[in-house]
Chain A
Amino acid sequence: MKVLIPTPLRSYTGERSEVEAEGTTLAELLADLDRRYPGIRFRMIDEQDAIRRHIRIWVNRDQVSTLQVQLGAEDEVIIFQALSGG
């Protein structure tokens, strides 16, 4: 399915803003994304599987707070990173 990547993480995806990854849950999808782009997951998700403080993940139009969210083949996953602060 389609995954939209924010600017600060595009160094992992060869500067691509939109990539493909697979999974039936958000956890699986992020694991697949990390297989394709090693290191990208830990920048977004900490070692306790929590979404980092300044990262937001949306599935279609719903913001999610857990990696256990179920995904369908037609879903779109959008990753945002806050750009607050100096």
Chain B
Amino acid sequence: MKTNKIPQSGLPKPATGAVALLVATRKGAFVLRSDKARRAWRTTGPMFFGHIVHHMVLDHRPSPGAKAKGSRTLLAATSTGHLGPTLSRSPDFGRTWKEAASPPAFPKAPEGQKGRAVGHTFWLTPGHARKPGVWYAGTSPQGLFRSEDDGDTWAPVSGFNDNPMYSSWTGGEQDGTPDGPKLHSINVDPRDPRHLYIAMSSGGVFESTDEGASWKPLNAGVLADFRPDKYPDYGQDAHCVRLHPAAPDVLYQQNHCGIYRLERPGATWQRIGDNMPKKIGDIGFPVVLHPRDPATLWVFPMDGGTVWPRTSPGGKPAAYVSRNAGRTWQRLDSGLPKSQGWFTVKRQAMSADAHDPVGVYFGTTSGEIWASSNEGRKWVCVARHLPEIYAVEAVELAR
């Protein structure tokens, strides 16, 4: 198997400063800040107290309209159990927030026709480095939306949302996750702003090479064991898809039916999860990539047997790492509960920083944040008793 080695000169330098974790929970958002050594952590929040925060993401580009030099926009997708969804923007890392003037919404259907309504915005991705102010959002039910004004107003990407194949690709409401079918894992090729990947639960992975005007399914080789046709063109349940930022021909996918790797221009995914220990299996939600080494990835397996408990197998939580593109895997459980640990790590709730060694972080459905400053060799619980954690994004406060 090729590992898409990239020249050292083309790699970003490791970060050395303090790290912040942007934590989205069922009852608000929190920020954990580390010291430079990533040993001491301080929790602040909640922001949006009582609101469901599905995703909170910091732009990697300077904000186009910022008054302060170097200011980067922070976006948060929120809803409550009862009110409609919305989206808020902060120019000052969460000190102040302003609601988007026009959050993601489907067009009004013609009279007499049933239209779609956004239940919540689930996923946020900043656009290409050469497209400042552009953001993408994925919603439940499945919809792709784009903002060109730094998240203030949003328009549907009709090439996907109104595609004649939309109903077939998405499969309808009953094909979704228990709290609604989702469009997620929006990946922008760093070499080309027109080249996009998205994924859906359910629906699978799709690719556009014209900035969203047209889409093709990209699911060959991916199992869908819940269908009569086990390897369909689309309809798979992709849980999380990551494109390697320094080797953008390499993609990894944690799927409902295993862990996969794809190297473009190839179009057939290879199941690398078959190399996981059989008693653990290769079911899970998140997949996290090393920022500089496209052969290194972390997953957090869960119990996908019987009725899909979605907890750590056997109540013994562990991350697994592969350093050779999925040929072999090592268990990483030092510091984690040795028994009776029944939490789940959701697809957006695991993240890595850009240090050397890489810091890896995950948040649990039981409200704990676990951190490792040495690539998973040792885990430390750095926050507990938070609400159910939906998403954790690691960001560098300074390089």
Chain A residues with a Cβ under 8 A of chain B: 8-9, 38-39, 42-50, 52-55, 81-85
Contact = CB atoms under 8 A, between A and B. Distances in A.
B86 interface: yes
Give the 7 A-B residue pairs with the shortest CB-CB distance, closest first: A54-B82, A46-B117, A47-B105, A48-B115, A43-B83, A43-B84, A39-B99
Contacts of A81: 82-83
Contact of A50 (B83, B86, B117): B117
A82 B82 contact: yes
Contact of A47 (B81, B86, B101, B117): B117
B107 interface: yes
Q: Dominant SS at the B interface?
A: loop
B158 interface: no
A39 B87 CA distance: 10
B106 interface: yes
A47 B83 contact: no
Contact of A52 (B84, B103, B105, B115): B84
A42 B84 contact: yes
Nearest to A41: B84
A38 B101 contact: yes
For chain B, which range describes its interface: under 10, 10 to 19, 20 to 34, or 35 or more residues?
10 to 19
A47 B107 contact: yes
A45 B115 CA distance: 13
B307 interface: no
B83 A52 contact: yes
B109 interface: yes
Contacts of B81: 54, 85
Contacts of A85: 81-82
Contacts of A9: 83
Interface string B314-352: 000000000000000000000000000000000000000
A8 B82 contact: yes
A56 to B, nearest CB: 11
Nearest to B99: A39
B80 interface: yes
Given A9-B83, A39-B86, A47-B108, 4 more contacts: A42-B105, A48-B106, A50-B117, A54-B82
Contact of B115 (A38, A44, A47, A82): A47
B382 interface: no
Interface in B102-126: 103, 105-109, 114-118
